[in-house]
Copies of this chain bind each other. A is one copy, B any other.
Amino acid sequence: MLKFDEQKQLDSVNGALALRKEIESIVDGICNKGYKNICWLGIGGTYASSLQAEVHMKERSAINFFVENAAEYITTGNKRVGKGTVVVISSVTGSTKEMIDGVKKAKEAGAEVIGFVDYPDTELAKMADYLVSYPKNEQLKFFMTADRFMYNAGEFDEYNELYAELDAHLAQGLAEVEKSADELGERLARKHMNDSIHYFVGAGNQYGATYSYAMCYWEEQHWIRTKSIHSAEFFHGMFEIIDRDTAVTVFVGEDSQRELSERVANFLPRICANYNIIDTKDYELKGISEKFRGHLSHLLMRVITSRIDVHLEKLNCHPMEIRRYYRQLDY
């Protein structure tokens, strides 16, 4: 299978899950001394992951939490960020300018920072009050953090049950999903490799996936134009430009907002003949209880779309590493 190293994938996910002890110790320490609110701070892809953490927490939590875009925070500020605020960030490079400035501002306001930074020797890593350094798996790190905060707040009784299942089955489960999605990935890549624009629609923890898959993968790495739209908003304007040949892909997950995307998926065939529905429900996750699947839909979607990526990259002879402008120019 193209660009797929099963053992590497298993090790990556299991290694991320093994961070849990470290995360629990950090979060428990914060909860013991008390905190005022949680600010998920991001930009670009990490902003999208923050949106996923936010909708995940909304389902069950009364904790005071919110998302901030780093560039907006730097310019407009947010009076809720201050002493007692826990800022959670993630960064691969540890050098994104807006994130450095945002963290600096939050710390000056009195906030503490939990930093998931892949490289420990970077500026962002050094600014974190609590540093966890391990590559990739950003969403898993964020969800483990959110879950521990909710568990400590008495809002997540199934915490231990969930993570026992994940420790035992998630890595292999995701690898199996990835393998079984390869054919779909190749088919969609072939069908859409020449698209002039492609629409992605999703809701719940799939909205962040929709937003970042469109922008950080198709636009940034494949140089194909996209628009991403929340399923809730689809019927309030955007759908007027869809006709028979418009390329549309709907991400359907299994969390509380599933019905919003199902509504789009059910309607599309009436007005469009060039759509795809990717429904995480069609993929088995052995060993994981039904009730936890909604919790994990975005992780399934990520490994499914990764199969589109590898085929698109090959078919379009467009290595995903290259950038036209990003970090190539001053701006």
Contact = CB atoms under 8 A, between A and B. Distances in A.
A79 B98 contact: no
B257 A72 contact: yes
A323 interface: yes
Contacts of A43: 232-233, 236
A233 B69 contact: yes
Contact of A219 (B70, B224, B232, B237): B237
Contact of A76 (B235, B238, B256): B256
Contacts of A270: 329, 331
Chain B CB within 10 Å, residue with most, of A216, A224, A323, A331: A331
Interface string A172-215: 00000000000000000000000011000001100000001001
Copies in the complex: 2
B44 A233 contact: yes
Contact of A227 (B98, B226, B232, B324): B226
A216 B233 contact: no
B235 A331 contact: yes
B223 A225 contact: no
Nearest to A46: B236
A66 B76 CA distance: 15
Interface stretch (A22-30, A115-123, A259-267): A259-267
A61 B80 CA distance: 9
Given A69-B230, A69-B232, A329-B270, A237 B224 contact: no
Interface in A3-23: none
Contacts of A78: 58
A31 interface: no
A273 interface: no
B239 A325 contact: yes
Chain A: interface size category: 35 or more
A40 interface: no
Interface string A44-59: 1101000000010011
Contacts of A232: 43, 69-72, 98
A45 B236 contact: yes
A322 to B, nearest CB: 9
Nearest to A236: B44
A324 B237 CA distance: 10
A264 to B, nearest CB: 9
Given A225-B241, A235-B331, A75 B219 contact: no
A70 B232 CA distance: 8
A201 B329 CA distance: 20
A76 B61 CA distance: 11
14 contacts: A43-B233, A59-B76, A66-B66, A69-B233, A71-B232, A75-B256, A98-B232, A197-B197, A212-B237, A215-B236, A215-B238, A220-B237, A239-B326, A271-B324
